[in-house]
Amino acid sequence: MKPWRRRFMLASLLLASVCVVAADSRSDAARTRLMKDIAHDFVATARMTGVREMSPAVAEAMAGVPRHRFVPAGGQAAAYANRPLTIGHGQTISQPFIVALMTELAGVSPGDRVLEVGTGSGYQAAVLAALGARVYTVEIIEPLGRHAAALLAELGYEDVEVRIGDGNAGWPEAAPFDAIVVTAGGDLPEALVEQLAVGGRLVIPLDAARGEQELTLIEKHADGSVTQRDVLPVRFVPLVGGGD
């Protein structure tokens, strides 16, 4: 190989390495800003939610899951912005603060069995799995479900199982669940309450008056009764299925 060609190849490799390092640095800085934004939102909404800050476990999970991998190519520049982004098929990847809040409200611990209704991009499932949960997630839109399943497997989230189907029915054969997280708004599916374990928590955006939604925490008690608490006004895509 001629010396000039060798020098050109080495220079090209060096430039590529510099570009990768620069991209990684930008990504790290964006993640740091996002975590600060999420922390600010917890403080700002604490009077309503009752949750002032992220637990160390949830903070670690949120910081560790690569959100840019769950965002379509056209949205990469905003991957670490604290806002929802479209993922196609009329669906969105939720605002990171809302993902963190729902995860905190679900009270997930390592080894828990968690049901997610509305896989979407797979981002919320990845955060739940990063906490050490065994995650069962249902997506009614087949292309989204297939893509999420492949991506989660590629990224090494082995404790996530994806099903294409109607999430209103839950996942009966895997029940009961220590936590259930619903990432679409509507009425409360009775099947999900039935599949919630005693002491379990269900986090769901429920339809409220005047077309609004309220993020709601539902807990099941030893006598089989349930209590629910309104947490925060939210806006999610509609929960489809259940005969819709």
CA distances from 137 to 55, 67, 115 (A): 23, 18, 6
Domain membership of residue 19 (yes or no) is no
Residue 242: inside a domain: no
What is the set of active-site residues? 94
So what's the pLDDT on residue 18?
A: 38
Residue 241 lies in a domain: no
Instruction: Give the structural domain span for 181.
Output: 36-234
- Residue 87: predicted pLDDT: 96
CATH number at residue 89: 3.40.50.150
What pLDDT was estimated at residue 6?
Answer: 54
Residue 21 belongs to some domain of the structure = no
Tell whether the model's pLDDT for residue 13 goes beyond 50: no
Domain count, the chain: 1
Q: Is the pLDDT of residue 200 over 90?
A: yes
Domain assignment present for residue 7? The answer is no
Is residue 5 included in any domain, yes or no?
A: no
Give the pLDDT score at 100: 98
pLDDT computed for residue 27 by the predictor: 76
230 within a domain of the structure (yes/no): yes
223-233 per-position pLDDT tens digit: 989 999 999 99
Prediction pTM value: 0.88
pLDDT of residue 1: 54
Confirm whether 98 is domain-assigned.
yes
Condensed to tens digits (0 to 9), the pLDDT of residues 60-109 reads 999 999 999 999 988 889 999 999 999 999 999 999 999 999 999 999 99
pLDDT, averaged across the chain: 90
What mean pLDDT do residues 9-27 have?
46
